[in-house]
Amino acid sequence: MIRFAVLPGDGIGSEVLAGPLELLATLSASKKIDVTGPWPAGASAYADTGSVLPEATLRACEEADAVLLGAIGEHPGANPEAYRQPSALWTLRTRFGLRLSIREVLRPEGEPLIIVRNLLAGAYGKQDTRQEGSPGTPAWDRIELSAGQIEEVARVAVGILGRFDGHRLLSADKANLFATSRLWRTVVQRVADERAVAVEHCYVDRLAYDLARALPAAVVVTEGIFGDILSDVAAATAGSIALSSSASVNPGPPLAGRCRALFEPVHGSAPRRAGHGVANPSGAYLALAAALQWQDETRSAGAAVRRALLSTIRTGAATYDVAGDSVRPLSTAAFARHVNSAFAREWRD
């Protein structure tokens, strides 16, 4: 049985998770899924308990195969200066070795654009790879990547590529400037050759330009900060930051307990929207779909969640962020009801 620990987190987190959690409750009746929570995390947890990750939350995550997170960030009524370092998200990533990021951006044509990147290496390396500055001393950030770290993210990207018919493998770097990018290009090419797949190397700035024009059917593999920026560019092209999800994964054996992955929407806690019931829950549905597809036993259910979301969007149902001038926007709950009804028509256990 697959166990998910649910952490609604901050701001709009609990609002956007409400609809997906109804689907999880339906699926748990099949005895393939167990759900625990909600567990406190983030700024809201700090306001209530004095900790961004209470011990009970950490234990629940250790006892789960994956975490489904709403959002971590600012929360109405919580002082951000008190809890910012170390962040709950960083603690979860390092504790469970969630060193790779897999982001999905919804494409209206169907299969998503996938961006695979480093999460605990390169620009997102250890604290000793950066130095704070002052008026009299420079600040610096050191980017380090080993061949092994590059090979791991490349192998995961190639594995994901095999799930899609017609997707291209794009490798984004800055090999005309960075030594890490030249090593990146060499290692990614070797992995692609070993797996007998074609890879297209491109400069990250050119790929950003292309993504701003249209979203290709592709798996993009790139360094952490490049992928962070490219995924937001792609979300803007898709129409909203809420049309993308993020998975932080450990592709190896668990480091603590059972947990090997964390799934969340990309949009953050959006404290200005919290409590108004208007946020777009699409990213949370995409996160649920990715979480279910991460496991063999629930892969078909994840595909059904994604189909239900796509079919809902194609009917013209829209929240405020994507509704045109002639469309009356739906509330978070109303949009979720449309998706869940579509799922009921799609899903056959």
Ranges of each domain in the chain: 1-98+250-349, 100-248
Question: b/e string for 112-138 if b means 16 or more Cβ within 10 A?
Answer: bbbbbbbbbbbbbbeeeeeeeeeeeee
Assign 215 a pLDDT band (cuts: 50, 70, 90): very high
Average pLDDT score over residue span 260-286: 95
Q: What is the CATH number of domain 1-98+250-349?
A: 3.40.718.10
Same fold, 1-98+250-349 and 100-248: yes
Q: Is the pLDDT of residue 47 over 90?
A: no
pLDDT digits 0-9 by tens, 67-86: 999 999 887 777 666 655 56
**% of the chain exceeding 90 in pLDDT:** 80
CB 90 within 8 A of CB 69: no
Q: In angstroms, what CA-CA distances link 140 with 20, 56, 93?
A: 42, 37, 24
Q: Is the pLDDT of residue 30 over 80?
A: no
Sign of CA dihedral 13, 14, 18, 21: positive
pLDDT score of 75: 79
- What fold, for 100-248? Isopropylmalate Dehydrogenase (3.40.718)
pLDDT digits 0-9 by tens, 153-212: 999 999 999 999 999 999 999 999 999 999 999 999 999 999 999 999 999 999 999 999
**% of the chain exceeding 70 in pLDDT:** 97
Q: Is the pLDDT of residue 23 over 80?
A: yes
Q: What contacts 238, CB < 8 A, 6 or more positions away?
A: 105, 106, 107, 215, 244
pLDDT digits 0-9 by tens, 297-332: 899 999 999 999 999 999 999 999 998 888 899 999
What pTM was computed for the model?
A: 0.93
